[in-house]
Structure 1
Amino acid sequence: MPAVATITPAENTAGLTLRFCYEDKQLLPYYAGNNADIPVNPGATIEHLQQATAAAGIGLELLRMPWLRCLQLLEENQVDALVAAYSAERAHYTRYPTDAYGQPDPAKAINTNALCLAYRFNNDLPHKISDTTAGLTIARPHGYRPLPLPEHATLVGAHSPEQAIELVVSGRVDATTVTCEINSVAGNQQEIDTLPLKILQPPVYYSVGYLMLSEQFYQQHNAIAEQLWQALPLTLDQSRYIEYLTYPLNF
């Protein structure tokens, strides 16, 4: 674990709790476990957030729901925060750390990751990508934001990342996206290495995850919001993110 960040609260934080919403499907290394339950080992992002909120002197309430529901509740100010990449269509109801030019500040992100395509070992995916006349199907979980994938690709919805991988393994689709780099460190979920799958390099997408706050929380606790964003890089434990790729084997 990194050294505990020392931050002097800029306001009285007694009784203040951050209501954090995240999806009720496992997404390693970030979130562990399925459904609304919070497992003892909740995932690297949750442990990271626990450290950051403690450094800022506030409590943390965890809520698990379908991803689109989390977004809706943030827009309605019924939850205080979630983790997401910056998106212009969500900018009107989210608050995120910005730099001197008013742009999203990756120096205060909660994590970064890269996505690669995973495909069956006996599927000539590189050829299907280069040949625009070839059929190409890519599975992505419902509610996930669109990615800059090949224009001739047909997207197939899945209920979860696990189901998307199952569709690839069974040969029903050609590929799906999986995390292949976390916080600038190469790594993928250990399950991938036990399946008849290959990872296509280089990554097709790089993402920066920000702690997105509701408009209401930011307006009421502006100083705490800034302290939370400052605490995130100070409490980042890169090794913990990599360890969660082996969940639950080594926990």
Structure 2
Amino acid sequence: MKIRTLLYIFVLKCIVFCDGVTAKELLFCYEDKNAAPLFLGVDKAIPIDQPDASVEVLSLLDKAIDGVEIKFVRKPWRRCLSDLEFNRVNAVIASYRKGRENVAVYPVDQQGKLRDDYAVSEFSSCLIGRYKFHKEWETREVFQNKAFTIAIPNGYGLNSALKEEPFFIHNTFSKSKAFELLDKGVVQASVDLCQVDGLKVSSYPYEGNNVKPIYPPYETSHGYLVFSKKFYEENNTLSWEIWHWLSKFESAPVYIKYLQTPK
């Protein structure tokens, strides 16, 4: 009886202490479409060379924090969000949308305000066009009936202020197609990522047609690493350790590198 008791205590201790040493698996889901510089490629394969900016950042986090082991899976974006809600994956990178906090845990302070300093990324979008569009845009309030044709690629949108502007919108599947329409003069304007953490950038590939962004940006958004409710409840300390690491890591150079990589 004494031997059995000692054996039971040994097994119990092993469960308690050994489990604390084992790294917690974190299953991260990200979109299976090209959304440079966040994610590259258009299928479910996880690239080995140049694995995407966000994947590179999280891989560095994985190496820096002993208590977590990150695994990656690619799915359609809506599927990632659905799997997060039902705890089939543990984390995604997402901007804030009203109601999304019902299925995901964001880094917030004691008052419930989002901690932007804990975000993975900060991206700003600008209208882009040639010199003529810039001039006409500046005087659009004088010519109330003037309308502009603009190409909006998948994944981009216009904020509430721009939705009131006189635009004829061409929706395109990709950013490259939107840029092609602008280059050929089919549309007068498009949108582009123009700042990363306040640093001015551009991914417009065509030269010699004087297409430039209009500053200041019309929209700035933050990408947060958000956790499923269950993962956060079971790994509260680890979740905050991860967010704290992200707040100290300079991610802008990584995103800019991928933005400037030929695609």
TM superposition score normalised by structure 2: 0.78
- Following TM superposition, by how much is the alpha carbon of 1:227 offset from its aligned partner in structure 2, in angstroms? 1.1
Q: Deviations over 1:58-117 (max 9, x none)?
A: 122222233233223222322221112111131211111012311110111111111111
Q: Are the aligned partners of 1:17 and 1:61 in contact in 2 as well (CA < 8 Å)?
A: yes
- Which residue identity lines up with residue 183 of structure 1 in the other structure? D
- Following TM superposition, by how much is the alpha carbon of 1:134 offset from its aligned partner in structure 2, in angstroms? 2.1
Q: Deviations over 1:126-153 (max 9, x none)?
A: 1585444222333334455652324133
Q: Are the aligned partners of 2:179 and 2:204 in contact in 1 as well (CA < 8 Å)?
A: no
Q: Are the aligned partners of 2:154 and 2:175 in contact in 1 as well (CA < 8 Å)?
A: no
Residue in 2 that maps onto 1:96? 106
Q: Are the aligned partners of 2:30 and 2:74 in contact in 1 as well (CA < 8 Å)?
A: yes
Q: Are the aligned partners of 2:44 and 2:74 in contact in 1 as well (CA < 8 Å)?
A: yes
- Following TM superposition, by how much is the alpha carbon of 1:121 offset from its aligned partner in structure 2, in angstroms? 5.0
1:139 is matched with which residue: 123, 136, 151?
151
Residue in 2 that maps onto 1:24? 32
1:69 is matched with which residue: 60, 66, 79?
79
Q: Are the aligned partners of 1:83 and 1:211 in contact in 2 as well (CA < 8 Å)?
A: yes
Identity of aligned residues (%): 30
* Equivalent runs, 1:6-45 vs 2, <5 Å: 12=20, 14-39=22-47, 40-45=49-54
Q: Are the aligned partners of 1:129 and 1:150 in contact in 2 as well (CA < 8 Å)?
A: no
* Equivalent runs, 1:83-232 vs 2, <5 Å: 83-120=93-130, 123=133, 126=137, 129-130=140-141, 131-142=143-154, 144=156, 147-148=159-160, 149-151=162-164, 152-189=166-203, 191=205, 197-232=211-246
Q: Are the aligned partners of 1:19 and 1:81 in contact in 2 as well (CA < 8 Å)?
A: yes
Residue in 2 that maps onto 1:3? none
Between structures 1 and 2, the one with greater helix share: 2
Q: Which runs of 5+ in 2 are unaligned?
A: 1-18
Q: Which has the higher contact order (CA 8 A, sep 6+)?
A: 1
Give the aligned CA root-mean-square deviation in angstroms: 2.7
- Following TM superposition, by how much is the alpha carbon of 1:207 offset from its aligned partner in structure 2, in angstroms? 1.0
Q: How many residue pairs get matched?
A: 239
Please say if 1:52 is aligned against 2:69.
no
Structure ID, larger Rg: 2
Separation in structure 1 between the aligned mates of residue 228 and residue 150 of structure 2, nearest angstrom: 33
Q: Are the aligned partners of 1:169 and 1:196 in contact in 2 as well (CA < 8 Å)?
A: no
- Which residue identity lines up with residue 82 of structure 1 in the other structure? V
Q: Which runs of 5+ in 1 are unaligned?
A: 1-10
- Which residue identity lines up with residue 94 of structure 1 in the other structure? A
Separation in structure 2 between the aligned mates of residue 145 and residue 217 of structure 1, nearest angstrom: 31
Change over 3 Å in CA distance of 1:161–1:71 after alignment to 2: farther
